[in-house]
């Protein structure tokens, strides 16, 4: 039997495993075989919306997007392998971390979904950080809940449960209110010793709201925390119908704990052991480093979260990633079309990224700020994309593109300086993934320069999250054999994987340092633009 026939037989027999990730701009699905190799994929394009000052997604759009993504996957399976996807051996759901989804006892949504992108919880973030002695970023679910309480929002008295986007989708598929520890660690602090929410901080929060008269306790409305490998329910008939209204997909598949996109990125890059790290670049950009021990002090610029198997992780998270870069590429595409030149969008990215390699190491004095939304690391409350250059800057297409690529990593570097320099955290390997790294050797090279650290990418770098979720679902089916998640990944998935590592070039390192100096000096202009009401 041929390899393709083997794959078709495995799908028909229900031995394939499915991972779905709801990212900022795409919902992606990846089907893997028993060795963790991707054998089919599907996707659905979508976007967040700014409604009444809140970055949000409508949950009806979530459901429609899931159906569209699954239909695309099913079509790919049918056309590529000649079989129908009727049964799967496992399923996992991942999504953007953090944010606020609140429901009453009947399951009715109480307020619009407030995503990670909102920066309206500064008061709550500051007060909780002080009360807990633990950094609570503005994106975290507990910050959103407490800010709603401080604001006197009527709905908080009727809250019966809160969750993340991954947790909500998982609940729609299984009926269970649970969450993987990695995603849960972006809702409320996790105690590494117990693997669940920190009881002392739960008690502190209870004291903070004791005079409000709520008939709920925080521990009761948060999802139950599960670790990678644990069972998290089965696909119900209602859940199967949500994914596949045609009725072809059968219920009964086991689900692993739902996870956040940070956790799936760690799995997809095999960055789960201490002194390993990864960078995920998309609409937002963040770096995760698995720690050997606790940090020396609390840093507002760093999140403390966990791997999907519960190990402590420090995260430097930036709200703004590639969106402004994408907008500039779109403008240049429009310019070409006016001149009668049409290029495939992927080819345009390849050529423009290639042009960036021809730019000056410091981008010729051109500086870009990719701030579509506020950026807590640089104390910027609102987003104002900005391009700055001195009168004598070498303003060329090559330097423009290099400046925008550098901008993706600028704020990240400021956060990583605290972790690697101030805290002295050890980092032996750094993996990168996300669509930014699909063009070989460009963003990877500039990231290496920005952190002065070798950077590795793999052949699946562009689709890491959904694939990482599929791997977590596959691991759950064998975790009763006593093998740890990192050991299983080493043995089954990454043994002999096709990886490419680039060391930083001295001239790029020096050039990025010069760029960063200008970047830091220009932040005053960025903040002023954000504060100017006329620019809203």
Nearest to 97 by CA among 273, 377, 284, 332: 284
Q: Which residue has the higher pLDDT, 493 or 511?
A: 511
> How far is 219 from 198, CA to CA, in rounded Å?
10
> How far is 51 from 283, CA to CA, in rounded Å?
18
> How far is 119 from 180, CA to CA, in rounded Å?
25
What DSSP state is assigned to residue 274? T
Tokens read off for 59: 């949950």
How confident is the model over 358-393, as pLDDT tens digits? 999 999 999 999 999 889 889 898 899 999 999 999
Please tell me which of 194-208, 272-286, 472-486 the model is most confident about, judged by mean pLDDT. Answer: 194-208
pLDDT at 461 over 50: no
pLDDT attached to residue 463: 56
For residue 358, the Cα-to-chain-centroid distance in whole angstroms is 31
How confident is the model over 122-163, as pLDDT tens digits? 999 999 999 999 999 999 999 999 999 999 999 999 999 999
| Residue 484 · residue 310 · CB < 8 Å | no
Nearest to 24 by CA among 95, 109, 122, 83: 95
Give the mean pLDDT of 177-196: 96
Query: How does residue 1 score in pLDDT terms, banded at 50, 70 and 90?
Result: very low
CA distances to 51, 261, 313 from 54, rounded to whole Å, are 5, 21, 29
Nearest to 313 by CA among 273, 282, 284: 273
| Residue 431 · residue 269 · CB < 8 Å | yes
Q: Mention every residue, 6+ apart, whose C-beta is less than 8 A from residue 314.
A: 288, 289, 291, 295, 302, 303, 304, 419, 423, 425
How confident is the model over 201-239, as pLDDT tens digits? 999 999 999 999 999 999 999 999 999 999 999 999 999
Burial (0-12, 13-18, 19+ Cβ within 10 Å), 524: exposed
* Pairing verdict, β 38-45 and 26-32: antiparallel
CA distances to 129, 152, 187, 416 from 207, rounded to whole Å, are 15, 17, 19, 34
pLDDT at 280 over 90: no
> How far is 54 from 117, CA to CA, in rounded Å?
9
> How far is 394 from 265, CA to CA, in rounded Å?
37
Q: Quickly tell me which residue has 């799936």 as its tokens.
A: 264
How confident is the model over 12-36, as pLDDT tens digits? 999 999 999 999 899 999 999 988 9
pTM, two decimal places: 0.85
> How far is 242 from 76, CA to CA, in rounded Å?
19
Nearest to 39 by CA among 93, 1, 83, 94: 83
Tokens read off for 425: 């955290």
pLDDT at 93 over 60: yes
**What beta strand segments (E) does 273-426 contain?**
276-281, 285-290, 303-306, 312-318, 366-369, 386-389
Taking the alpha carbons at both ends of the chain, their separation in whole angstroms is 62
CA neighbours closer than 13 Å in the CB half-sphere of residue 449: 29
| Residue 223 · residue 167 · CB < 8 Å | yes
Tokens read off for 114: 């407030």
Burial (0-12, 13-18, 19+ Cβ within 10 Å), 235: buried
């Amino acid at each position: 039997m041929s390899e393709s026939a083997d794959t078709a037989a495995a799908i028909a027999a229900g031995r394939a495993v499915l991972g779905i990730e709801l990212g900022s701009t795409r919902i992606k699905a990846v089907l893997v075989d028993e060795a963790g190799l991707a054998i089919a994929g599907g996707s659905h394009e979508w976007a967040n919306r700014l409604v009444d000052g809140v970055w949000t997604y409508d949950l009806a759009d979530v459901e429609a997007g899931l159906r569209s993504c699954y239909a695309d996957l099913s079509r790919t399976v049918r056309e590529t392998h000649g079989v129908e996807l009727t049964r799967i051996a496992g399923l996992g759901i991942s999504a953007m971390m953090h944010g606020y989804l609140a429901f009453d006892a009947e399951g009715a949504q109480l307020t619009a979904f407030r995503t990670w992108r909102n920066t309206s919880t500064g008061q709550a973030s500051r007060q909780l950080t002080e009360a807990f002695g633990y950094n609570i970023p503005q994106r975290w679910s507990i910050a959103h809940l407490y800010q709603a309480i401080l604001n006197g929002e009527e709905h908080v008295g009727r809250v019966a449960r809160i969750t993340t986007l991954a947790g909500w989708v998982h609940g729609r598929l299984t009926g269970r209110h649970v969450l993987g520890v990695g995603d849960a660690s972006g809702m409320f602090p996790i105690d590494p010793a117990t693997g669940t929410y920190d009881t002392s901080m739960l008690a502190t929060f209870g004291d903070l709201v004791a005079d409000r008269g709520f008939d709920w306790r925080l521990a009761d409305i948060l999802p139950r925390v599960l670790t990678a490998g644990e069972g998290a329910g089965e696909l119900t008939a209602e859940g199967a119908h949500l994914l596949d209204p045609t009725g072809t997909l059968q219920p009964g598949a086991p689900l692993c704990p739902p996870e956040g996109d940070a956790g799936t990125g760690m799995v997809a890059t095999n960055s789960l052991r201490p002194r390993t790290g990864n960078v995920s670049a998309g609409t937002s950009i963040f770096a995760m480093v698995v720690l050997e021990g606790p940090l020396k002090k609390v840093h507002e610029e760093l999140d403390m979260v966990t791997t999907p198997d519960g190990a402590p992780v420090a995260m430097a998270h930036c709200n703004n990633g590639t969106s402004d870069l994408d907008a500039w590429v779109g403008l240049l595409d429009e310019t070409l079309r006016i001149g009668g030149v049409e290029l495939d969008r992927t080819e345009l990215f390849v050529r423009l990224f290639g042009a960036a390699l021809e730019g000056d190491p410091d981008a010729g004095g051109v500086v870009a700020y990719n701030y579509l939304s506020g950026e807590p690391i640089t104390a910027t409350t609102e987003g104002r994309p900005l391009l700055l250059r001195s009168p004598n800057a070498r303003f060329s297409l090559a330097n423009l593109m290099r400046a925008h690529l550098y901008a993706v990593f600028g704020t990240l570097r400021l956060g990583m300086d605290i972790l690697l320099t101030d805290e002295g955290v050890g980092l032996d390997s750094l993996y990168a993934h996300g669509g930014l790294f699909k063009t070989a050797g460009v963003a990877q090279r500039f990231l290496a320069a920005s952190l002065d650290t070798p950077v590795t990418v793999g052949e699946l770098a562009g689709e890491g999250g959904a694939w990482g979720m599929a791997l977590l679902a596959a691991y759950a089916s064998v975790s009763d054999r006593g093998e740890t998640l990192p050991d299983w990944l080493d043995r089954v998935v990454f043994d002999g994987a096709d990886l490419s590592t680039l060391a930083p070039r001295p001239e790029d390192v020096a050039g990025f340092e010069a760029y960063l100096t200008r970047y830091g000096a220009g932040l005053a202009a960025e903040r002023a633009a954000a504060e100017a009401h006329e620019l809203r």
